């Protein structure tokens, strides 16, 4: 029996690979011209860049295990860096977060925070780390309220928590879920290796989509690009196929919708109601300076500016910088030219003197980059099991402990695949 997977993002691909591994036949349809979904590569004057600068962390266990199963060595795919971040703000001294190496974990982190930022900052960080582990997820509040309750200073809120909350939840602290943020903080700092930063060394399309597609085809699976699922065929509470945008009917007794939440909602509309999440955008601005230009660190944080994180991407092309702006804001109203102009000025103090002139720039705006991780979001995320027999949900939005991330997408793809197999075994 063939399982039809709708959507070739990281979740759909993870589901397809795991089903193939169990000897199942799969057919994956994807509406776009390429696989990868919200984590894909695009062509920029002959250079393959990502639709947004993605960052993974050492705690992404399922993603790293999936890549290893596809014979993709994480060492060849990522620059794995021990946590080392400096956040610059025009109003305050730089704030530093370093994992340290000399002492056992988490003492090394505590020691480095103390040495780099002083007693006041260390005390507040320690308090929040402790409270994050104790947070009751059933009594969610906004991150801002939680930070105030935990007596975090205005400086720490602005220079550390707001940028980290935007980077991880893509939601401003005023509306972001403290339960989710606390969970992310706890998991990221559980072990030293969990806090490692993994920067893709290759375009994202080459990280998972290419190897997953190869694996699926080698195992007899079929991948059809530029085919959009338009309507589900359901009879007596059981799915039996799908009609595509081309009017073709694909028969299938098992279907996984690994589509973004809005699309899954639409496809299911006449059968089951799914919550409608709101979304936030992420903008990525690539700036090309002279080939000799290098940033002083692979990643630099900024607060109090539109630009939030700078990535040195000279590995892709010498002199290339990626600037990330997460969440909603005034920048969304700016024209691309105005945004490039402002960002280039904002980051100038953080570039070396020999940067040369800005010779090229690219703005990529992903309007529905992620669902908004607002208060009580965890109670609203749907289960992967639908009310229709044979029909399953995957994708980053389906319930799991994480915000919209690659790891959440992979977890849900794999989980759905294993539940589908387990159920099929029982009903046989």
Q: Residue 9 or 205: which CB sits closer to ligand FAD?
A: 9
| Burial letters 275-312, b for 16+ CB under 10 A, else e | eebebbbbbbbbbbbeeebbbeebbbbbbebbbbbbbb
Residue range at the interface with ligand FAD (CB under 6 A); choices 75-83, 255-263, 329-337, 382-390: 255-263
> Residue 279 or residue 350: which is nearer to ligand FAD going by CB?
279
What's CA 317's distance to the chain center, in Å?
Answer: 23
**Which residues, including other chains, have CB under 8 Å from residue 157's CB and lie 6 or more apart?**
144, 147, 173
Name the residue nearer to ligand FAD (CB basis): 160 or 285.
285
Question: Interface with ligand FAD includes 3 (CB under 6 A)?
Answer: no
Using DSSP bridges, classify how beta strands 25-30 and 2-6 pair: parallel, antiparallel or unpaired.
parallel
Report in angstroms how near the CB of residue 242 gets to ligand FAD at its nearest: 9
For residues 139, 374, 301 and 330, what is the CA-based torsion angle, rounded to 10 degrees? -140
CA distances 166 to 54, 143, 307, 326, 352, Å, are 13, 11, 12, 6, 27
Q: Which CB atom, from 121 or from 311, has the smaller least distance to ligand FAD?
A: 311
Q: Is the CB of residue 394 less than 8 Å from the CB of residue 19?
A: no
258 lies in the binding site for ligand FAD (CB under 6 A) = yes
From candidates 406, 411, 417, 420, binder to ligand FAD by CB under 6 A: 406
* Cβ density class 361-394: b for 16+ within 10 Å, e for less: bbbbbeeebbbbbbbebbeebbebebebbbbbbb
Q: Give the angle subtended at the CA of 70 by the CAs of 67 and 75, to the nearest 5°.
A: 45
* Subset of 383-402 contacting ligand FAD (CB under 6 A): 395-396
Q: How far is CA 45 from the centre of its chain?
A: 26
Where does this chain touch ligand FAD (CB under 6 A) — which range of 2-10, 89-97, 211-219, 309-317?
2-10
In the list 239, 302, 316, 404, the residue contacting ligand FAD (rule: CB under 6 A) is: 404
Contact map string, positions 14 to 53, toward ligand FAD, x by CB under 6 A: ---------------xxxx----xxx-----------xx-
Tell which one of 172, 229, 327, 382 touches ligand FAD (CB under 6 A).
229
Q: State yes or no: residue 252 binds ligand FAD (CB under 6 A).
A: no
CB of 235 to ligand FAD, least distance (A): 21
User: Closest Cα partner for 42 from 53, 56, 30, 57?
Assistant: 53
List the one residue from 148, 228, 240, 385 that touches ligand FAD (CB under 6 A). Answer: 228
**Least distance from C-beta 342 to ligand FAD, angstroms?**
19
Dist. CA 38–CA 233, nearest whole Å: 27
Q: How near is the Cβ of 9 to ligand FAD at its closest, in Å?
A: 2
Looking at beta carbons only, is 331 or 355 nearer to ligand FAD? 331
Out of 5, 16, 20, 55, which residue is the one contacting ligand FAD (CB under 6 A)? 55
- Sequence-ordered list of residues with C-beta below 8 angstroms from that of 74, at least 6 positions apart, any chain: 64, 67, 68, 80, 198
Least spacing, CB of residue 191 vs ligand FAD, in Å: 18
Residues contributing to the site for ligand FAD (CB under 6 A) = 6-12, 29-32, 37-39, 51-52, 54-55, 228-229, 258-260, 263, 282, 284, 366, 369-370, 395-396, 404-407, 409
């Amino acid at each position: 029996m063939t399982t039809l997977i709708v959507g070739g993002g990281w979740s759909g691909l993870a589901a397809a690979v795991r089903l193939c591994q169990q000897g199942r036949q799969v057919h994956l349809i994807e509406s776009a011209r390429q696989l990868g979904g919200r984590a894909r590569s695009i062509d920029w004057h002959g250079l393959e860049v990502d639709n947004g600068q993605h960052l993974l962390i050492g705690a992404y266990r399922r993603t790293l295990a999936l890549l290893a199963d596809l014979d993709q060595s994480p060492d060849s795919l990522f620059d794995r860096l021990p946590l080392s971040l400096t956040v610059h703000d025009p109003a305050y001294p730089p704030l530093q977060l370093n994992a340290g190496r000399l002492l056992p974990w988490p003492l090394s982190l505590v020691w480095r925070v103390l040495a780099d930022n002083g007693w006041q900052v260390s005390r507040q960080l320690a308090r929040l780390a402790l409270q994050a582990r104790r947070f009751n997820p059933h009594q969610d509040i906004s991150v801002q309220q939680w930070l105030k309750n935990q007596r975090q200073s205005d400086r720490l809120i602005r220079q550390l928590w707001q940028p980290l909350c935007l980077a991880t939840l893509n939601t401003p602290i005023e509306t972001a879920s403290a339960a989710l943020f606390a969970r992310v903080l706890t998991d990221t700092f559980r072990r030293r290796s969990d806090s490692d930063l993994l920067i893709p060394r290759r375009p994202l399309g080459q990280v998972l989509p290419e190897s997953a597609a190869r694996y699926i085809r080698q195992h007899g699976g079929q991948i059809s690009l530029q085919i959009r699922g338009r309507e589900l065929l359901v009879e007596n509470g059981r799915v039996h196929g799908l009609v595509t945008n081309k009017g073709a009917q694909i028969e299938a007794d098992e279907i996984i919708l690994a589509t973004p939440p809005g699309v899954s909602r639409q496809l299911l509309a006449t059968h089951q109601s799914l919550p409608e999440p709101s979304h936030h955008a992420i903008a990525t601005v690539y700036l090309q300076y002279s080939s000799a230009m290098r940033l002083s660190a692979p990643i630099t944080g900024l607060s109090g500016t539109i630009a939030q994180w700078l990535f040195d991407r000279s590995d892709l092309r010498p002199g290339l910088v990626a600037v990330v702006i997460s969440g909603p804001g005034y920048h969304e109203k700016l024209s691309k030219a105005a945004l490039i102009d402002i960002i280039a000025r904002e980051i100038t103090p953080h570039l070396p003197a020999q940067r040369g002139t800005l010779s090229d720039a690219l703005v990529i705006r992903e309007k529905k980059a992620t669902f908004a991780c607002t208060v009580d979001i965890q109670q609203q995320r749907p289960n992967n099991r639908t009310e229709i027999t044979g029909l399953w949900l995957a994708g980053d939005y389906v319930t799991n402990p994480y915000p919209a991330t690659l790891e959440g997408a992979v977890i849900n793809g794999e989980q759905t695949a294993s539940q589908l197999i387990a159920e099929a075994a029982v009903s046989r």
